[in-house]
Amino acid sequence: VKIALIYTTLIYLSCLVLFPSSNASESKPLGMRPQPFSMQSSRSNRFGIRRQMKPNYALNGLSRSVNAFSTRIENEEFVGKYAPVAGKTAAWVRALELFEAMKNAGISPDTRTINDVMTICLRCGRKDEVKRMYSLMQDEKVEADSRTLSIMAGIYGKSKEWENALTVMDDAVRLGIKPDLILFTNIISACAKEGQWSHALDLLARMQDLNVTPTKISYNAAIHACCKGRQMKKGEKLVQEMKGNGIQPDVVTYTSLIAGHMWQKDIKGVIGAFKDMQRDGISPNGHTYSSVLTAFTRAGLWRSALDAYATLLEQRITASTMVHNMALTSHLKLGEWVAAVTAYTRMRNQRIDQDTTSHCLALEAYFGGGQSQQALRFMHQVLENEDKDEAKQRVFETAVRSCQRHGLWQEALGLVKESVAGGFSTQYIFNTAIAACAKTRQMQHAFDLYDLMKETKIKPTAATFNGLMASTAQSQAQRGWEVALEIERDMLSQSQNLDQVTYTGLITALGRAGRWQRAEKAYLRMIENGVQPNHVTYSAMISAWGNGNKWERAIDMFSKLENTTDVNEISYSCVISAMGKCGQWEKVLELYSQCDERLHSKLSLTTYNAVLSGLARNSRLDEAVDLVAKMHDRSRQIGAAIANKVGNYSIQHAASPNAVSYGALIEAADSRGNWEMCLSFYNEMREKGIRSTIGIANRLLRALFSQRRWSQAVHVFDKLTEDSVPMDRYKYSAVISACVRSKDSYLVSVKAHNLFRDMRKNNIVPRIVEFGAIIHACAKEKNLQRALLYFEEMANDQISPNQAIFTSLIKACAHDQEWEKALELFNEMENVAPEEVDLERRVLPYNALITTLTNCRQRHRAMKVFDEMKAKNIMPDKVTYDRLAQGFEVTGEWEVILRLIDDMHKSSDHEVSASALMYQRAISACQVKGKWEQALEFYETMIEKDLKPREATYLALYDACLNAKKPEVAAQFYNVLKQSTEDDIAVKRFEPDMNQIFDDGEDEAEFDDLYDPEPIEIDEFETEGTLGM
């Protein structure tokens, strides 16, 4: 007895040292707080009982000190003192040591002793030890009491073992123990955690049968069971029963009701329960707001979720990390990237715990806001603070997924290489990066990633091949469809099953390439292999038939699809686009009306743009303008509805026209040849802050070029450059040509040369087309020396000149009287490119040389060149004869002009017949020589050939007759002149202007033949993911 007393005293003292008493308030877990022995009762029985009661008191004190120990553990000195067994671990370890010491000392543990040990282990989270002690209790045949059973019911509830919790009630019946309030409540709580509402209600009814009065905790547990079991009516009935028994619901009650409605996706029920809670004057807590935000986010009501989150912050309610993460998610879904970053920063400043999900959401916000560099720096900071490889992999996956969503394929490639170097690469990372390349039409980079994937020995999956297939479908490569077929063969060779996505990508690739027959065969293979098509597959097939101008097949498949539940807005967009490509604009409007009616006026921008594309392809400008006006009106109406929270609209329903919409309008106006409306649409788009795209730039410039609006084209080019629209070689070439074609001296002499230098600055090396245009500009501005400098620059760039270059240089010689240089260049041309072009275009350099020679008073050399032309079977044209006649007109050699006219009549080319201008030049030559009779003969010939004389012709005849002293005849021509002019004294002498070498119309025609730049490529009409894969 003395040994036992000494040992027990030592145990008691060690417990007092390890767990000093604390006055801190302790929460009282349900049914787990043992009743302490009073010191008075332990002293009353100093013998017999003291041996067993003193260890019980020590364990009981240890049990009471667990919570106090947890509150003191934050003290650094205390942690340092008990570092080997810090935290609650020390409690259960010490309890088991005491228990084993009692057994070793020969003291048999009783019910209360084991209950204390079980209580300590339960509070320390040692569920297995609690179960072991209960088994030991049964093995030692120590009788269990209601407290023991309550403990076991609680441990089964924490372990979500509701069936075992029910067996505890059977044990109570077997042992003859009357269940008390704690036992009933613990078993009901165990059933509630698994939604076993029927057992919970049975236990609640059994409590009342045994005259055990349920408390608020009991009711809350039963209500929670009903709510989790989707029995909301029974749960609400229990709430009414509580109130009838005089028990007022609390925050736990209403939180359970809100959670129940949330699980049933009943938003109205969630809002109603929350309002009832506020009406009863009960303040919500963090768990309440967690259920509310979960309900809103699951329903896609992102704005409502953020409103609830703002209320939580205003009331300074402590919430879990999951609640803050749902707020971040809501910001991301609404595209509020800056707000998401701000919310994450607030979490850090307020020291709210952030998990990996928080970091990933913030990372996505950085990428979404266009701060890719900031996102990468943030990612590396997160990786430095992460210890687990799983978390690091998740961060990499989030970063790559964000790059894929926002079209950042280059950043995605960098992340993949970094993950490979760090050993964190996964199939998901590679597949997502390949999808990013597919989305941005980077087919080659997608296949490079596939090769890297094989090098790192990561096995490709079906998603990998689907991404590669999508890259071929999105690629603009001419042979992309062949690559798609090769992918299909590779998948079959590797025993990869082709799924719905694979076949859809294959059909899309073939359809976009115009291979509708092969697409049809792929669709049939899909059906034969038992793969069920979905609405995206049908839409891809409809688009393929549209590209093949098989609109009957497309509309037939859509009719079959329309009878099923699979038809949606994507299907309508595809069939509308197909009808537009096939010229069925009436069908386009009909399908648009059906879609608008079916979706209750909730069309997205993609559908509107598909309709606009169909109208634009068929030159239906008026209908397209009306539709855009309707889009503006509906956008304003839906915007007002969203602002006033009227109706179930989202921002995507406010389909305000974008760049694609205006591109369709410009295309429709271009098809009508209405360049003024093209410019009007472009200016309207800029006023609304819509950024131009490459497609719009191409369409707009092409429209202006086709109508020969050179100055306007140059002005639009400058605006596009200001808007940072990428300019390629084709646009520079076309605009330089526009400058050369224009009659504006500034564009010819200054702007064209500035653009040529800008090409160099933008690392675009000029080619022979651009050199030809700029040298022609030098010829037009009469600057031979500048043209020769460009000619020398060509030689430095190792660009061989062609016939067009030499022609412009020869023309430039005419202005500086450099006829010898012209002959030199002509001979050089003959040696460099003797047979470069066909004979019809070989006449152009001859015309340039003849023009230069006649301008330099070398008319006989010009006739010699003319004879050489004919000897080489190079047929002269009208320009050739006119330039020769112009040279002999000044000297009055009318016989030569007459010979040229006869030669023109003998020509087999009907387009080379003598014109009124040739006869006018012959009459002018006769006037110079005083041959008035011959002049009259030429005039009579003109009348016979129905050639209308010009005013200059009558003036030359008047002067010829007047100089020959034939006033009567001269008076006739004077009267004609008098009738043809408003002022009868405005009679001017005709003097040929030798400086006006080029007639504007003829010069522009020659330029078209010589320097026609490569056409600007117009991409296929831009749609926004009609077939998003």
pLDDT per residue over 770-781, tens digit each?
Answer: 898 889 888 888
- Percentage of the residues of the chain whose pLDDT score is greater than 70: 82
Report the pLDDT value the prediction gives residue 85, as an integer from 0 to 100: 37
**For residues 804 and 799, what is the distance between their CA atoms, to the nearest angstrom?**
13
Residue in this structure with the two tokens 């020509």, named with its chain if needed: 907
Contact 322, 305 (CB under 8 A): no
Q: Does residue 322 register a pLDDT over 70?
A: yes
Report the pLDDT value the prediction gives residue 248, as an integer from 0 to 100: 87
Comparing 159-173, 746-760, 971-985, the range with the smallest average pLDDT is 971-985
Q: Which of 815, 900, 826, 809 is nearest to 856 (CA)?
A: 815
DSSP 476-534: --TTHHHHHHHHHHHHHHTTPPP-HHHHHHHHHHHHHTT-HHHHHHHHHHHHHTTPPP-
More confident residue, 16 or 309: 309
More confident residue, 304 or 13: 304
**For residues 450 and 458, what is the distance between their CA atoms, to the nearest angstrom?**
10
Q: Which of 217, 171, 166 is nearest to 190 (CA)?
A: 166
Contact 484, 470 (CB under 8 A): no
Q: Which of 199, 122, 194 is nearest to 160 (CA)?
A: 194
Mean pLDDT of the region 846-860: 86
pLDDT per residue over 1009-1020, tens digit each?
Answer: 444 444 444 443
pLDDT per residue over 78-126, tens digit each?
Answer: 333 333 333 455 677 887 887 788 778 777 778 888 888 888 888 777 8
Mean pLDDT of the region 7-26: 50
Beta strand extents in 147-195 (DSSP E only): none
The token duo for 397 is 């996956």
Report the pLDDT value the prediction gives residue 564, as an integer from 0 to 100: 65
Mean pLDDT of the region 938-947: 85
**For residues 775 and 792, what is the distance between their CA atoms, to the nearest angstrom?**
11
pLDDT per residue over 920-937, tens digit each?
Answer: 888 888 888 888 888 888
**For residues 227 and 244, what is the distance between their CA atoms, to the nearest angstrom?**
20
How many residues in the chain?
A: 1029
**For residues 309 and 324, what is the distance between their CA atoms, to the nearest angstrom?**
8
pTM here is 0.58
Report the pLDDT value the prediction gives residue 174, as an integer from 0 to 100: 80
Q: What angle do CA 211, 213, 216 make, to 5 degrees?
A: 165
**For residues 633 and 652, what is the distance between their CA atoms, to the nearest angstrom?**
15
Mean pLDDT of the region 823-842: 69
Report the pLDDT value the prediction gives residue 6, as an integer from 0 to 100: 63
**For residues 794 and 43, what is the distance between their CA atoms, to the nearest angstrom?**
116
Report the pLDDT value the prediction gives residue 708, as an integer from 0 to 100: 86
Report the pLDDT value the prediction gives residue 104, as an integer from 0 to 100: 80
> CB neighbours (10 Å) of residue 307?
13
Q: Does residue 33 register a pLDDT over 70?
A: no
Q: Does residue 391 register a pLDDT over 80?
A: yes
What is the distance, to the nearest Å, from the Cα of residue 1025 to the centroid of all Cα atoms in its chain? 9
Report the pLDDT value the prediction gives residue 326, as an integer from 0 to 100: 92
Mean pLDDT of the region 995-1012: 43
Q: How confident is the model at residue 40 (pLDDT cuts 50, 70, 90)?
A: very low
Comparing 127-136, 667-676, 911-920, 998-1007, the range with the smallest average pLDDT is 998-1007
Q: Does residue 47 register a pLDDT over 70?
A: no
Report the pLDDT value the prediction gives residue 583, as an integer from 0 to 100: 85
Mean pLDDT of the region 889-911: 79
Mean pLDDT of the region 533-553: 87
Q: What's the mean per-residue pLDDT of the chain?
A: 79
**For residues 885 and 847, what is the distance between their CA atoms, to the nearest angstrom?**
12
Contact 608, 652 (CB under 8 A): no
Report the pLDDT value the prediction gives residue 657, as an integer from 0 to 100: 87
pLDDT per residue over 243-291, tens digit each?
Answer: 888 888 888 988 888 888 888 888 888 888 888 888 888 888 888 888 8
pLDDT per residue over 466-494, tens digit each?
Answer: 888 888 887 766 678 888 888 888 888 88
Torsion of CA 924, 926, 930, 932, to 10 degrees: -100
DSSP 83-98: GGG-TTHHHHHHHHHH
Report the pLDDT value the prediction gives residue 990, as an integer from 0 to 100: 35
Mean pLDDT of the region 867-878: 84
Comparing 70-79, 204-213, 368-377, 493-502, the range with the smallest average pLDDT is 70-79
Residue in this structure with the two tokens 């009558």, named with its chain if needed: 954
Report the pLDDT value the prediction gives residue 329, as an integer from 0 to 100: 92
* SS3 call for 277: helix
pLDDT per residue over 446-462, tens digit each?
Answer: 999 999 988 888 888 88
Contact 516, 544 (CB under 8 A): yes
Contact 297, 330 (CB under 8 A): yes
Report the pLDDT value the prediction gives residue 45, as an integer from 0 to 100: 35
Side chain identity, residue 274: F
Contact 638, 653 (CB under 8 A): yes
Q: What is the DSSP letter of 179?
A: P
Q: How confident is the model at residue 646 (pLDDT cuts 50, 70, 90)?
A: low
619 phi-psi bin (left φ>0, alpha ψ -120 to 50, beta other) = left
Q: What is the 3-state secondary structure (H, E, C) of 894-951?
A: HHHHHHHHHHHHHCCCHHHCCCHHHHHHHHHHHHHHCCHHHHHHHHHHHHHCCCCCCH
DSSP 368-391: HTT-HHHHHHHHHHHHHH---HHH
